[in-house]
């Protein structure tokens, strides 16, 4: 199989050559940090949406 960065690069090449070109300077950990940073941004947004959905359901049940 090869080392982890090589495997990640081969997967990226299969998905999109542009992704591989953009991440050439990153190793596997750099890509993972970028991904976890995206999750940190997305998690509060998902939480707010879930909270609003919960409020809507609760208000319908109260009536």
Query: pTM for this one?
Result: 0.37
User: Is 80 exceeded by the pLDDT of residue 5?
Assistant: no
**pLDDT at position 53:** 92
**pLDDT at position 61:** 83
pLDDT in tens, 9-61: 665 566 555 554 555 555 565 666 666 666 677 778 888 999 999 998 888 88
Instruction: Let me know: does 27 contact 5? Beta carbons within 8 Å.
Output: yes
**pLDDT at position 1:** 47
Query: Token match 């919960």: residue?
Result: 54
Instruction: Let me know: does 3 contact 11? Beta carbons within 8 Å.
Output: no
**pLDDT at position 42:** 76
Q: Give me the residue spans of the domains in the chain.
A: 4-62
């Amino acid at each position: 199989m090869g080392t982890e960065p090589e495997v990640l690069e081969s997967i990226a090449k299969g998905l999109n050559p542009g992704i591989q070109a953009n991440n050439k300077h990153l190793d596997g950990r750099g890509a993972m940090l970028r991904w976890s940073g995206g999750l940190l941004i997305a998690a509060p947004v998902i939480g707010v949406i879930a909270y609003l959905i919960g409020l809507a359901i609760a208000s319908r049940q109260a009536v």
